[in-house]
Structure 1
């Protein structure tokens, strides 16, 4: 055994053996018990059975086949967490195509940049998003057909491209290495990239989450999964959609992930496992919302995307009456890297490595594994690691090693009992309440303003949101900070809006022209500390 092998940390659980894809699992369960619930709309009460979901998804697959959709071809999908999202995704997969997951909350310009990376021939959107998709396709110079998923009374939204004669619920021809999804992430730095996830990735991730969630009472067909995390993001896709599909648990959807609506849906439908945005955990801990609902059925309240203080987890756990924990994951690892593993992890950790996952803790400068208990960059390897970035060989090579290790860009250390502690982020990604903000994307928008010569965006520490985006701008004309902030706000999603704009004479750059972003980030952190100290003295 080499020195490097001796420092590989391994999950207590082996890799899933021949994990079943979400499509095969749904069709298996539809054949075994066709009238059992598959999905419940927490807002309207619409509750299609497994048989109906199988029929609808077959009709969608047939409609895509009529349009000549080929194996592995990306089909864009943009809608909130409605019952139609799982149905349409299953239909895309049954056609042998790949889900290109887009946020329904993005504007046309944001969506256009991502459509241009993938160039889908077909996009499916809910009615309120369809016009944005059409505008985005036009901006990107694409002739993308936009199918609208209308909702009929008592039904889930099904797109108008669905055929009338979907085939019987038979298994599609899916190979483990077929492309199943393209989910957008900022990787370890830079603008959003399309992460290519295979059928094997989704199946393995689903099995890993199921193992993780098997606390008291297990995680199986008798469980009820509350999908509070958006399906278009990796946490929602892996933990809130694919995992419950893999075990036959009905999925409760809520279109807008607001705390009160999610808690009400969990109580009304007796949810046993809830995957929610970080903000929900924080609001449960800071408000008296949870005790107003009967949450006695809950066994786990799970979140991810950013570090949750131990005190928040403990208070939230007490209020909902079950473990409330954050795990560790990233889009490049489909969904989960570590978390609870059949038992709750310690609140100051992100849990144990997911089943079949290996990790190394590596010194960034030397590239060697660090000594036990020492912090270093977290590298992971496992069946959930992405195929690569769509159309970006260079970025893939910078993130994945030749022998399959994923460089996460996160700083962490491993405890003796196998739990992982995240210390800090090495990457430049800003996380606002767990939502990702790529500095390069905001900078690109700023530089489109005629009064901006140069711009740099960093995260400023914020006690309520974790971080907030702040811009340092070198002007090329007359524009006030307010005007520039409003310019960005009109083009980007709410969590990407600038909290502050500073007008500066120049930005720190190396002789090569590379932006020395860490210098700007350090200034903002120092300013935040001074402001916090001044507030405490008053």
Structure 2
């Protein structure tokens, strides 16, 4: 039997994203602060935000954009992103969000694949947006710099066009088209309907309010809005809960801490790399962030020891969430004071979860263990719920591999259950290292390496040895810098021996490379493909 959600079943409103967020604004809510843009210092209320979204939608409709059109949005976390993002959907068009650090080639591919007819970019991100749009065949007047004084956001809003009357089926109309590697490694357009996003908003909103958020909460939004985690959890669900959002265009530790201090931020969303900094960096102690009560980590698995270190150092509750683009994104959220630190918890409302045996041709289901303190065998987690995507854009083959005919979504993540049904992420199935027939999870070795005092960051990938064709664990390590500014030293052999003393023989690190930085995506996921091609050092 699949593990059901412990939360009561909720009714999913059959409305657009705009309607669930803005249609019911009360006079009191209209005056509440919605967004503080830390880069510009602007402060925008909910009423002002709704009016700007309407005006932006009107400007797009005046240009002939609406249902059936796709608009590419290439911008950092900012008020401009929020207005443009919701304005596009308010006009009935579909948003395809573009990674802020994407190259012109990456952007051209996405614009072409999505069929976008308009590119909205920001000059502060460089020329990649303009160049990518041009390479995709968009005309010069189909590219708008939102920061441009003459033709950008301010100009569009000043035109004063009323928002259009649009009609579509929320269950089938695509609201957003983010691109994800899914379980197959190649970026694909993920078709998420208005109902998908609305479902996850109403699934997550009450859970977050029960897990540390309050009606007066001020939250930090540094994780990128272009990614589904930032888009539908940090941005949309926070607007749904009527919180005060502080945007940050990119992570910078001093500025991050300063904003917490100045705005009395009490709830912060992070990815594991930020958790590492909060647990270890000496600068953290120089700021007054006592208002912070809750840190919620997502985008990648959070190690239990790291979570505990953040809790103890900051005096906060650390929670975990799990999601993927194909699930809009949240499937699990841990419960404050109940869920073990290492677990992502139980499914959100209206969601089922099961773990299947990938070695079985019929995907036999793995059941939770019967005894406390035990964990089940590891298997791939499957999810079913109203937040699951419609499918991949123009890619029926990939859709059939990932989305089963009975509605189950294959996550590609290897997990275990405990006796209560709490889920523990072991690793991504496609990232497992096979050494002499044994499965080695990189995340487990990375967590161990990160516990060493001389290591600031680490990543583990498989390396195929030419001598015997065996795939072995290869570690990339960033040395820690002490308070005196000097690098803490440890030798490669010494480090491999240290690991060997703490793991099963088949899990031993066989190769070590020292590096200045671990390559990661904007949401903190390790870019293992970039590491696999790094030449072996002498």
TM-score normalised to structure 2 length: 0.77
Unaligned runs of 5+ in 2: 369-375, 434-441, 450-455, 478-490, 499-538
Match for residue 396 of structure 2? Answer: 393
Match for residue 364 of structure 2? Answer: 368
Q: Distance in 2 between matches of 1:419 and 1:171?
A: 45
Q: Call closer, same or farther: CA 1:175–1:226 in 2, change over 3 Å.
A: farther
Match for residue 535 of structure 1? Answer: 495
Deviation at 1:370, TM superposition (A): 1.9
Residue from 368, 377, 385 that aligns with 2:380:
377
Give yes or no for contact 2:427–2:443 (8 Å, CA) kept in 1: no
Residue from 328, 341, 348 that aligns with 1:347:
341
Q: Distance in 1 between matches of 2:406 and 2:186?
A: 26
Match for residue 450 of structure 1? Answer: none
Q: Call closer, same or farther: CA 1:245–1:138 in 2, change over 3 Å.
A: same
1:99-498 equivalences in 2 (<5 Å) = 99-129=95-125, 131-143=127-139, 145-150=142-147, 158=153, 160-162=155-157, 164-167=159-162, 173=167, 175-177=169-171, 178-215=173-210, 219=213, 221-341=215-335, 343=337, 345-366=339-360, 367-372=363-368, 373-428=376-431, 463=449, 464-467=456-459
Secondary structure in structure 2 of the residue aligned to 1:33:
helix
Deviation at 1:174, TM superposition (A): 5.5
Q: Call closer, same or farther: CA 1:526–1:135 in 2, change over 3 Å.
A: closer
Give yes or no for contact 1:16–1:204 (8 Å, CA) kept in 2: no
Give yes or no for contact 2:37–2:78 (8 Å, CA) kept in 1: yes
Q: Deviations over 1:290-343 (max 9, x none)?
A: 333333332321122222221110111122221123322111111212122355
Deviation at 1:399, TM superposition (A): 0.2
Secondary structure in structure 2 of the residue aligned to 1:328:
strand
Q: Distance in 2 between matches of 1:150 and 1:137?
A: 17
Q: Deviations over 1:165-205 (max 9, x none)?
A: 1337x996453222111111101023111111111111121
Residue from 65, 72, 82 that aligns with 1:69:
65
Q: Deviations over 1:262-284 (max 9, x none)?
A: 22212221223211232111100
Deviation at 1:537, TM superposition (A): 5.2
Q: Distance in 2 between matches of 1:359 and 1:171?
A: 39
Q: Distance in 2 between matches of 1:192 and 1:150?
A: 28
1:34-53 equivalences in 2 (<5 Å) = 34-53=30-49
Q: Distance in 1 between matches of 2:336 and 2:154?
A: 39
Deviation at 1:143, TM superposition (A): 3.8
**Aligned CA-pair RMSD:** 3.1
Count of residue pairs brought into register by the alignment:
455
Match for residue 56 of structure 2? Answer: 60
Q: Distance in 2 between matches of 1:209 and 1:182?
A: 21
Deviation at 1:220, TM superposition (A): 5.0
